[in-house]
Chains A and B, each alone.
Chain A
Amino acid sequence: MTMKSSTRQVDGVTIVDLSGRITLGEGSIVLRDTVRDLLSKGQKKILLNLGDVNYIDSSGIGELVSAFTTAKNQGGELKLLNLTKKVHDLLQITKLYTVFDVKDDEASAIKAFDK
Chain B
Amino acid sequence: MSSNRVSLTLDSTLETVNNAEETAGRMAAEAGFDDEEIMKISMAVREAAVNAVLHGNAYDPNKKVMLAFERNDKDLVIVIRDQGKGLDAGKIPDPLAPENLLKTSGRGIFLIRSFMDVVEIHPSKTGTELKMIKHVRGNADSKEAPQ
Residues of A within 8 A of B (CB): 1, 23-25, 57-59, 61-63, 65-66, 68-69, 86, 90, 93-96, 99
Task: Report the Cα distance A59→B101, complex, angstroms.
Answer: 14
B108 touches A (CB below 8 Å): yes
Pairs across A and B, CB under 8 Å, 30 listed: A1-B18, A24-B14, A24-B17, A25-B14, A57-B43, A57-B46, A57-B50, A58-B47, A58-B105, A58-B107, A58-B108, A58-B111, A59-B105, A62-B104, A62-B105, A63-B104, A65-B102, A65-B103, A68-B102, A69-B102, A86-B39, A90-B111, A93-B111, A93-B114, A94-B96, A94-B110, A94-B111, A96-B101, A99-B101, A99-B102
How would you classify the secondary structure of chain B's contact residues: helix, strand, loop or mixed? helix
- Give the total number of A-B pairs whose CB atoms are below 8 A apart: 45
Residues of B within 8 A of A (CB): 14, 17-18, 39, 43, 46-47, 50, 54, 95-96, 101-105, 107-108, 110-111, 114
How would you classify the secondary structure of chain A's contact residues: helix, strand, loop or mixed? helix
Q: How far is the CB of B46 from chain A (nearest CB, A)?
A: 6
